[in-house]
Structure 1
Amino acid sequence: MFSERLMRARKAAGLSMSALATEVGVSANAIKKYEHGETMPTSANLLKLAKALGVRTEYFFRPLKVDLQGVEYRKRANTPQKLLDQINGDVMDQAERWTELLDLYPDSVEPVPPFCLPDGLPDQVTSFEQIEDIAILMRSAWALGLNPIPELIDTLESKGIMIISTDIEAKKKFDGLAGTIDSTPVVVISSHHPGDRQRFTLAHELGHLVLSGRLSEGLDEEKACNHFAGAFLLPKPALLQHLGDRRGAIEPRELFMLKHEFGVSMMAILVRVGQCGIISESLQKRYYMTFSKRGWRTQEPGQAYPQEETNLFKQLVYRALGEGYIGEPKAAELIGMSLSSFHKERKLGVSDAASHQ
């Protein structure tokens, strides 16, 4: 247990054995022996390891081990393995704390609903037109209507999807990943991306859950999930209502306003107006060229769309504390705070933001 967790924490911190040895003040061979389970560190070195790796000492002895299956990354082909190791380590740590928290609830309490797909989904999807209909069906089943979804993370969490945000700096080489723990879908997003990019990643991964096993051989799953994401975040009827059925030109300001209303990037909206037949393919290509010339493909104008936050984990920690399922020490450990800081936060002695500084 200790050896495996040490190796994961080291990789998550992006450190080699030699680098960690230097931080702790031992030899690289000593770190190797720790990770191979041949020896155990002294109490003093255990504290140094925890400090160097940015974890609490309890991390090394946490008995629960989760199995994140079916992992699929949304990343660039040249994303280094070292970066993926860091992301995976962070994700596994958060997933373990999630699972431990849920296991602390009594069997009679279901703090998170099980994820299930609505009735009426087609057995086989053969066209993008069907994907448009499926996006509307999902919105209808979840009582979302056709209006903008203000808090997509809250929406997905309320339907039984575990959302994890990783702080690992990926330098635009990583958008997210998806997998399952037991039967619970898990979606991971990067905290370093603007809100519109996070939302598209979330909707894209929802597309995988909805369309998996349904696509005909002629449809590429990644393209299909991108189409679903756009249709789910910005439904065709809503887009037609805002822009009209057919346009000979569209002002950039219109795209900008729709972005901040629906939480979808201007580029994604430009893709949608083409998909919905509002503008011609040739006009769409001209707008793509305009975006490239103005540098909007990498940095869209104006302030970035605000990020969303996942608060469910922390809410469930406080719920478990309030119901007496756990005490303050376990609550602080799950959140990753010192007991004194947690006690102050619990008593509203400091703000939530200040408690993590």
Structure 2
Amino acid sequence: MRAEEAAAAFSGERLRLARFRAGLTVREVADRVEVSHAAISQYEIGRTRPTPAVLARLAIATGVSAGFFAFHRRPISPGGLDGTHFRSLRSTTRQGRASAWAWSEIVLDIAEVLERHVRLPDPVVPVRSLAPDAARDELACAAAELRAAWSLPDGPVGHLVRQLEAHGILVARLPVADKGIDAFSHAQGRRPVVVLGTDKADAARSRFDAAHELGHLVCHPDADPGGEQEHQAHAFAAELLMPRAHMLRVLPRRFDLGAYARLKQEWGVSIAALLYRARTLEVISESAYRRAVMIMNRTYGRRTEPYPLPTEERPTLLATAAEVAARSGITLAHIAAQSCLPLDDVRTIVGSTDPRPLVHLDI
């Protein structure tokens, strides 16, 4: 799309999204484009539209193609940043959250383009909206209903990210942790999206993040970032990954590192999560829990623990969709052009079905 056409179809919402994606403030964009910061604000709220020349400079400044700003593209999620589930508002800046949220919208943009060429699984998320004062039994019922709806096995749930993707949830691993964000999610449009960080030292912690965000999608259709919903999502994740009935039978009555390590490998959760679950279910006392945590922290530190899970659960839905599209001649370059995004963005989002480097042999 030429700058003249894009200017005529200009969307201020998509300019804001492009700015968030680039991690820029209004003033920084204004300086790069050589207009006043008031002009950028007016563009974003839709009060005025840029000229074709200014729009071309906006595209260069934010790193997208001019067509990215067109209003006839996929609508931005209506709840925006405030409708997204973030863990903590105190440990992150609004600009950091905005930049991270923009990437979840980029995921949706790329999925929308891919769906022109391939069919993705329909979203299946059994919503059970919970009040802030919901009882713990209600969270357990929500987790049980999810297990039944998804036909999950009675015990360890297996590859959780694959389950999310098989039921139509878009999952991406992106380097958002440098903004103080472990993971986040929202379900404001046709497809829910979950973004997981890439810097977890132990895959078990990342699996819990995925379960936590799934809890939001099931229990919290309306986001309340930083509120009671975070505790509920944590409790949902614990019940989903470590069901009460099973844990009461298998959790040790005293701290035994070997026993907890075996449970970690079997259930795919961290030793820290298992210990906390044991305390919550009153399998061990508060004092026993504290002693065990002190031993673990003294021996391994607060951020690491022994016996890490062998592999991280990686999303494959979008990568597989891209491979299927490629068989019909739709390359990643085509996807990038249709998304009006840099090719590197598409590669970052889509990833690969096999992250291992390929061994080349001379013949």
Please confirm whether the aligned pair reaches a TM-score higher than 0.5, indicating the same fold: yes
Q: 2:185–2:217: 8 Å Cα contact kept in structure 1?
A: no
Q: 2:268–2:309: 8 Å Cα contact kept in structure 1?
A: no
> Residue 177 of structure 1 aligns to a residue in which SS?
strand
Q: What's the CA shift string for 1:177-229, capped at 9, x where partnerless?
A: 2222434322222223343232222212222333348xxxxx95432321110
Aligned to 1:200: 208
2: distance between equivalents of 1:351 and 1:221? 34
> Residue 65 of structure 1 aligns to a residue in which SS?
coil
How far has the Cα of 1:170 moved from its partner?
2.6
Kindly indicate whether residue 240 of structure 2 is the aligned counterpart of residue 232 of structure 1: yes
TM-score by length of 1: 0.72
2: distance between equivalents of 1:66 and 1:206? 23
The letter of the residue matching 2:170 is M
1: distance between equivalents of 2:185 and 2:75? 15
How far has the Cα of 1:230 moved from its partner?
0.9
Within 5 A, what are the aligned runs for 1:240-319? 240-243=248-251, 247=253, 249-294=254-299, 296-301=301-306, 303=308, 306-319=311-324
2: distance between equivalents of 1:328 and 1:175? 28
Of 190, 193, 217, the residue aligned with 1:186 is: 193
Of 96, 103, 122, the residue aligned with 2:109 is: 96
Aligned to 1:337: 343
How far has the Cα of 1:312 moved from its partner?
0.7
- The unaligned stretches of length 5 or more in structure 1 are 214-218
Q: What's the CA shift string for 1:34-71, capped at 9, x where partnerless?
A: 7734333489957xx54x65545654558413332332
Aligned to 2:98: 85
Flag the 1:293–1:32 CA change in 2: closer, same or farther, 3 A.
Answer: same
Aligned to 1:222: 230
The letter of the residue matching 1:271 is Y
Flag the 1:135–1:197 CA change in 2: closer, same or farther, 3 A.
Answer: same
Shifted more, 314-323 versus 227-236: the winner is 314-323
Aligned to 1:40: 52
1: distance between equivalents of 2:266 and 2:320? 28
2: distance between equivalents of 1:85 and 1:222? 19
2: distance between equivalents of 1:312 and 1:79? 29
Flag the 1:238–1:32 CA change in 2: closer, same or farther, 3 A.
Answer: same
> Residue 184 of structure 2 aligns to a residue in which SS?
strand
TM-score by length of 2: 0.71
- The unaligned stretches of length 5 or more in structure 2 are 1-9, 44-48, 222-226, 359-363
> Residue 178 of structure 2 aligns to a residue in which SS?
coil
The letter of the residue matching 1:197 is R
2: distance between equivalents of 1:6 and 1:322? 33
How far has the Cα of 1:152 moved from its partner?
1.0
Kindly indicate whether residue 153 of structure 2 is the aligned counterpart of residue 145 of structure 1: yes
Flag the 1:182–1:260 CA change in 2: closer, same or farther, 3 A.
Answer: same
> Residue 282 of structure 1 aligns to a residue in which SS?
helix
Q: 2:184–2:194: 8 Å Cα contact kept in structure 1?
A: yes
1: distance between equivalents of 2:355 and 2:164? 27
Q: 2:260–2:271: 8 Å Cα contact kept in structure 1?
A: yes
* Number of aligned positions between the proteins: 324
Flag the 1:181–1:305 CA change in 2: closer, same or farther, 3 A.
Answer: farther
Flag the 1:44–1:76 CA change in 2: closer, same or farther, 3 A.
Answer: closer
2: distance between equivalents of 1:225 and 1:13? 30
Flag the 1:34–1:240 CA change in 2: closer, same or farther, 3 A.
Answer: closer
Q: Which has the higher contact order (CA 8 A, sep 6+)?
A: 2
How far has the Cα of 1:271 moved from its partner?
0.9
> Residue 167 of structure 1 aligns to a residue in which SS?
coil
Q: What's the CA shift string for 1:216-272, capped at 9, x where partnerless?
A: xxx95432321110111122343344335xx1x222233233333322222111111
2: distance between equivalents of 1:45 and 1:203? 42
Kindly report the root-mean-square deviation, in angstroms, between the aligned alpha carbons of the 2 structures. 4.1
2: distance between equivalents of 1:27 and 1:316? 37
2: distance between equivalents of 1:283 and 1:351? 41
How far has the Cα of 1:129 moved from its partner?
4.0
Of 161, 175, 180, the residue aligned with 2:182 is: 175
